Chain A
Amino acid sequence: MIELRQVTQHYGSSQILWGVDLNITQGSCACIMGRNGVGKTTLLKCLMGLLPVSSGEIRINDYPLHNRPAEKRAPAGIGYVPQGREIFPLLTVEENLRIGLPIRKDKRKHIPERIFELFPVLADMLHRRGGDLSGGQQQQLAIGRALVIEPSVLILDEPNEGIQPNIVQQIGDVILRLNEEDGLTVILVEQKLGFARRVGKQFHLMEKGRIVASDHMENLSDELIRQHLAV
């Protein structure tokens, strides 16, 4: 479904991605792992169109994305939960959620109830400024916001950073549910092995801007972990 071919990227003159090839199939839950600074976030941003790729191709269902601006990628069905949440700080929770409404296919005018089912906190906080929420609440809002557009692919960049354990649990449940029940394709960047193991179906290990190993989650061996994740 999503296909990256030989994607490279530079910040100024320093190259971050070195020909990334990635294939993510419909309905899978792919977990991208790697040490700090190997370029995971960068890769996702390229996918989302927030960073220009230097070369290479990105396709979703054979529809080329790499030459489209970011705002055209969301309507193509990609929901994005960035690292650091990136909530619109001065918009209320409700407004944060409403932003995505216009690009829904069904042109709904209301925030789907489903969001509040998944994250009940948001319903309580509807009229508070997004920026005022605590980190964990913001994280939930960020996921909720991405879900409003009814994406077919959900990209999550370290969604559990700073989240209380039971919510981590809950987010895991939500991801699993979305992935399994709704058939949502999930791309997840995650550091915590436990979580990755629980929700991920495939893993892709990154090192120095390259994908160095990909396989089913069951095959994520200690050897691989030591090799690519240990410091």
Chain B
Amino acid sequence: MSILQRDQVWPFLVPREVKVDVSHQVILYIEDLSVSFDGFKALNNLNLYINDGELRCLIGANGAGKTTLMDVITGKTRCDSGSVWFGQTHNLLEKREADIARLGIGRKFQKPTVFEAHTVLDNLELALNTHKGILPALVARLSAGQRERIDEVMEIIGLQQQRHMLAGALSHGQKQWLEIGMLLAAEPRLLLIDEPVAGMTAQETERTAELLTSLAGHHTVVVVEHDMEFVRSIARTVTVLHQGSVLAEGSMDEVQNNRDVIDVYLGESA
């Protein structure tokens, strides 16, 4: 077994522990961020600070720029101006997606994206927080610890049954869960979660809420969601985006009673 646990034999196989300097408590600095598409301003001088270990809810009208914000943080979209820092030392705007991911920023997409031709198991394996280089990948075997981790995750997302099923054959909701599972397997510092409970039943929603709350502390979690009940159940701080900038920030109660927020987002009866 020790031969198979190669990550203990060769140093280059040991996952790099990335240092994120959070000496000021803040793990994510977003300042004056602007993004435009063909002249349309999706983000407009946005300022946002996320503390280390926080669980932050991000709400806002459809098209307010929440997904775009995540795109910028994860390196998918280039911004026009502004800065995005991960801790004190990592300027995210200079990095490519893969590097950002390896810094420990994980992301769940709005539309669930999983590797359809892989089994649920393989999906999780690929997500594991291991060395992502080429040579390690050629020789990598699952270590016992990793197996355990996968089983754990499998348990959490409730897909043990589907373990060997191709991910492409899962239903929409199952894919959502799998993607969350992949996030968990990767054990990132910062989780960006775009609409996790869309298409989930009430109970599942509850479970997700529990899960996210339990994650906070060890991990920093940013959740985008439109399901107010869900938000209410997990929220400590809520940030409301509108037309690319922050409209309001505060506790759920504050936000809920904010006139502007009611006008542009919540509607009267919420």
Which residues of A are in contact with B by a Cβ distance under 8 Å?
Answer: 11, 14, 35-37, 41, 83-84, 121, 128, 132-137, 139, 158, 161-170, 191-193, 229-231
Contacts and interface: CB of A to CB of B under 8 A. Distances in A.
A229 B203 contact: yes
B40 interface: yes
Contacts of A163: 62, 226
Interface string B223-236: 00011100000000
Contacts of A83: 172, 199
Nearest to A136: B62
B270 A165 contact: yes
A136 B174 contact: no
Given A37-B170, A164-B61, A169 B204 contact: no
A165 B201 contact: no
Interface stretch (B72-80, B97-105, B145-153, B261-269): B261-269
B156 interface: no
Contacts of A168: 226
Interface of B: 37, 40, 59-64, 67, 110-111, 158, 169-174, 195, 198-204, 207, 226-228, 264-270
Given A161-B199, A166-B267, A229-B203, A37 B228 contact: no
Contacts of B64: 134
A165 B48 CA distance: 23
A36 B174 contact: yes
B169 A11 contact: yes
B270 A84 contact: no
12 contacts: A121-B63, A134-B67, A136-B63, A136-B226, A137-B63, A139-B62, A165-B265, A169-B269, A191-B201, A192-B202, A193-B202, A231-B203
Nearest to A169: B267
B214 to A, nearest CB: 17
Contacts of A11: 169
Contacts of A137: 62-63
SS of B interface (majority):
loop
Nearest to B228: A165
Contacts, number: 97
Contacts of A192: 202, 227
Nearest to B269: A169
A36 B169 contact: no
Instruction: With a 10 A CB-CB cut-off, give which of B174, B207, B226, B266 has the most chain A CB atoms.
Output: B226
A165 B266 contact: yes
B201 A229 contact: yes
Contacts of B61: 136, 164, 167
Contact of A36 (B40, B63, B195, B204): B204
B77 to A, nearest CB: 12
Given A135-B110, A164-B265, A84 B63 contact: no
B171 A36 contact: yes
A84 B202 CA distance: 19
A166 B270 contact: yes
Instruction: With a 10 A CB-CB cut-off, give which of B37, B172, B266 has the most chain A CB atoms.
Output: B172
Contacts of B172: 36-37, 41, 83-84
A35 B207 CA distance: 14
A132 B202 CA distance: 30
Given A36-B172, A169-B270, A229 B202 contact: yes
Contact of A165 (B173, B198, B199, B267): B267
Instruction: With a 10 A CB-CB cut-off, give which of B60, B199, B270 has the most chain A CB atoms.
Output: B199
A230 B204 CA distance: 8
Contacts of A14: 169
A140 B40 CA distance: 20
A36 B200 contact: yes
B110 A166 contact: no
Contacts of B171: 36-37, 41
B231 to A, nearest CB: 10
